Structure 1
Amino acid sequence: MNKIIDFRSDTVTKPSEGMLDAMLHAKVGDDVYNEDETVQALEQKLARQFNMEAGLFCPSGTMTNQIAIKCFTQPMDEVICDQTAHVYRYEVGGIAYHSSASLRLLHGERGILTPELIEPEVNDENIHYPNTSLVVLENTVNKGGGKCYSLSQIAPIHHLCNLKGLKIHLDGARIFNALAATGDEAHQYGQYFDGISICLSKGLGAPVGSVLLGNKETIAKAKKIRKAFGGGMRQAGFLAAAGIYALDNNIERLKDDHHHAKTLAYALAESNYVHHVVPVETNIVLFEVAKGYAAKTVQKFKEKGILCSTTNHSTIRLVTHLDISPAMVDETIEIIRHLK
């Protein structure tokens, strides 16, 4: 094999020629002075798409999530999320660091929460308890193997949050993968969330950037927090142009990534060294090998030119994306079948 096939993440993609051309010809200005029309176009485009009032372009999904949580909480509040949630597992304890809030961790099925799980964990008013103020959902669930919520699952959670006076934020890092899998419409999402974080550098293939959506008041507050976080960018339109190109050109093809992931999962399920394959819904494949052998198996794949990663001592993750071609999938399947 002459070429490395990289399944470590859908963040490893490179900009296409069309995306690079869009970046090269972007009209830019100083975004901190509200003078970058391409950034504004991206923010407005996503806000319209998800039926929300405004947007804020940031360097990363971690930043958009952490800004949202700070907008929706006060010190000594408590945030409800699943124990697999990205905001808990992979954001460096940012909720405690930035917002001085505690976490109530739930155990949903592959990261999917329900009103029945959430309601008993909402604290009563009591001097000993933190104030429950926010619920965070993740769609799709990274550590759940790309499992996704449908709007029919989100609606009753939103209803509960309304009854309890809670804000609700969506870590929509792979929201377009969820939409491709469920057939739901993006414009229906705005009615259910106070904040939505959308990543452009995962399945959509932009080199960097996420957008936080909310009402105008939330986004005005978020912009000041972004500045305090060091996230105010200047001629950011070159990056925003990549995001606009991704939204215009790379959404429909996400179904190809899902097909590739399912094809790989079928091959893995037939391999004698694979103990279990988590059912695939989107573009993430999780499979289990003998306990303690995940790192060794990843190394064997690497020696064959296949890059993937471990999630624990027995579980391996493959992520499909726009830089993975059908020929690469076929080549990977041959390696899966003959790996020893």
Structure 2
Amino acid sequence: MTLLLDDRSVSSVLDPASLVEAIDRAIRLDAEAPADIPGRVNLSGGGRFFRIMPAVVPQSGVMGLKTFFGGGGVGVRYLIMLASIETGEVLATMDACYLTAARTAATSAVAARALGVKATRLGILGSGLEAETHLRTFAAVSEIDEIKVFSPNPASRDRLAGRLREELELPVVPVATAAAACADVDHVITATNTGYGGPIACESAWLRPGLHLSAIGSTHRDLRELDTAVFRRAGTLVFDADPEQIADESGDIREFVGEGGSLSAVLRLSDLLQGQAALPEDPQGDLTIFKSVGTALQDMVAAELVYRRSVEAGLGATWDDLAIPKSRR
């Protein structure tokens, strides 16, 4: 049987704390039972894009892929297909919009923990789904005293702040400028959508020494969030994927490298968690930065958790053997 899950079902079973632990554990176990994850496939045409992220994850007993596609005027859609390594059957297909935002936030929390971040005051640039999942996640796994939210859309930042103030029972304050969101905080999260070729969302001058930065919005070579001076201040710079991949896909990192910036000291999150690398004892910069573009391992781990919990809760619609073996035809 194949389980068909819509976005509402997926979001109802993905609690932030469990997802943080699942992704942390999966990255650590990947040293013992490595997942097979090829480079993602990026296609385009007719003003649209189509990205495919496949993976085989032995530790979880699953294989599958996530695809997301679309573009201006039609929006972006996310879909995951999850199959059993043992039987080959399609276990589930699910809307992966909320899942993608939730696993991105969970990975940011894993990275912050690996870096020893003890932030109690958060500033976030952005008011969309990724901003929302990040605030929920850090509130679930950290002691947060205050959150400041900026979006260039006043109604959007007011709406997010009001909703999360009630939900999290924390002071969540909308602010009028990006600089204000970065002032007097320990941790800044950039979860922006500046648009292709859009403006820089965060300037180095706004960031105080000792601050931690989680940057998740620049996942396309034409998307920017941070000015390059931010990366030059990094005492510790951690990526969630291969540095060459991120240097090709992220507009922020492409610009930094294009200006002569070096990625030689970049640490991979997997190396930190698996004990293959250590944090610098004498960092040469005054910021810690986690730059994320997402991985298929994160997707499959989140999807497998969603599948198990949905089966237990009796959620979704079922389809009898959605993809039958060729031999049975």
Q: Which TM-score applies when normalising by structure 1?
A: 0.32
Q: Which TM-score applies when normalising by structure 2?
A: 0.33
Greater fraction of residues in helix:
1
